[in-house]
Amino acid sequence: MTIDRIETFLVPPRWLFVRVETKDGAIGWGEASLEGHGEAVTGAFEPLRDRFIGHDARRIEDIWQIAYRGGFYRGGPVLMSALAGFEQALWDLKGRAFGLPAWEMLGGQVRDKVRAYAWIGGDRPDEIAEAAQGRKGQGFSAVKMNATAELDWIGTPRLFDEVVKRVEAAQAADMDVGLDFHGRVHRPMAKQLAKALEPLGLLFIEEPLLSENPEGLRQIAELTATPIALGERLYSRWDFKPFFEAGAVDIIQPDLSHAGGLSECRRIAAMAEAYDVAVAPHCPLGPLALAACLQLAACTPNVAIQEMSLGIHYNVGHDLLNFITDPDVLTPTDGYLAIPQKPGLGVTIDEAAVRDAAKDGHRWRNPVWRQHDGSFAEW
């Protein structure tokens, strides 16, 4: 079980897959996708190769600690995404070698399935209603959508009414709804809109402010009964710690391909449980990232719901199910994703398809959004 090779693949549209192989031929796959920064994460694998080729692949925690602490500089999206994809691949490799799902090695199942939600787009209520019906046909019972395209320092009742109508259009399709502010909103506006949305009974409002503004987030959490969700731009348990201590969050959304992988997100979830905070992992990514999330959901009691990027606009032509030979494993039914039962991460990668797709790589970059006045808006 000695690590012999660590490969990375920039797979369109914006993914980074990781393949680890041992000298005796055991193989594991992970996902280190960091949207818009694939080249940087690929570069971060060079020190991982130098350090861990020749290392015992079974010693996952030892590898994690060395990879995190051994380079002196630590944390942040690039290094933690590289570590996440590498660590996922080790769990997949070890599970396949021993014939066990990762969740079995992490303590066993606490649930048989987890509720899932998908993204919908559209500006008008009729567009939202059509998109929600489409997701219902795919097996979802919950969706997430933009709060609104234009959110700035101040708002008016007319703007709030438009947001309410869009939410009601999705709810009329028998969908539960979460609203993503994308951290695009300044505090005065976020406070107003949070109050206006409260009667709608939303699943959550996500990033009403950026996580770099914990004081403002705490104020909004104290203002509304709607659950506050955040965490896709946090990368370790230390990043999450102040939000737990401040009581500023109700649902955390660590990304298993950004926040140190399955091991670290399991620790983050355990911290959240001590503060009675739910977990809804962020995952607008590929099949390995989603498979890792389902391993977490299987063995973690406070996971509440799982994001899934089935057929969303930036995956057109490269759907996450295209690169696995068993797409039924990641297909929702009656609003839920079943817990995978196969070894490792529970999905089987089509290696030939990955290698072929990665020949040309990708140079995906985050779109730039602007307000109607021309000023920059958060993604």
Q: Which residues are catalytic?
A: 182, 282
**Is the Cβ–Cβ distance between 298 and 110 less than 8 Å?**
yes
In contact, 188 and 154? CB cutoff 8 Å? yes
Residue 125, H or E segment:
helix 125-137
> Would you say 339 and 332 are in contact if contact means Cβ atoms under 8 Å apart?
no
CA 339, chain centre distance (Å): 17
Count the neighbouring beta carbons within 10 Å of the beta carbon of residue 335. Answer: 17
Asked if residue 34 lies in contact with residue 16, where contact means CB atoms within 8 angstroms, the answer is yes
The answer to whether residues 151 and 163 touch, using CB atoms and an 8 Å cutoff, is no
- Ordered DSSP codes for 150-181: ---S---HHHHHHHHHHHHHHHHTT-EEEEE-
Q: What ranges in 275-363 are assigned the alpha helix state H?
A: 287-299, 351-357
Cα 131 to chain centroid distance, Å, stands at 21
Q: Give CB contacts under 8 A, 24+ apart, made by 236-239.
A: 236/75, 236/80, 236/260, 236/264, 236/268, 237/264, 237/267, 237/268, 237/271, 238/75, 239/75, 239/211
Residues making up the chain, counted from first to last = 379
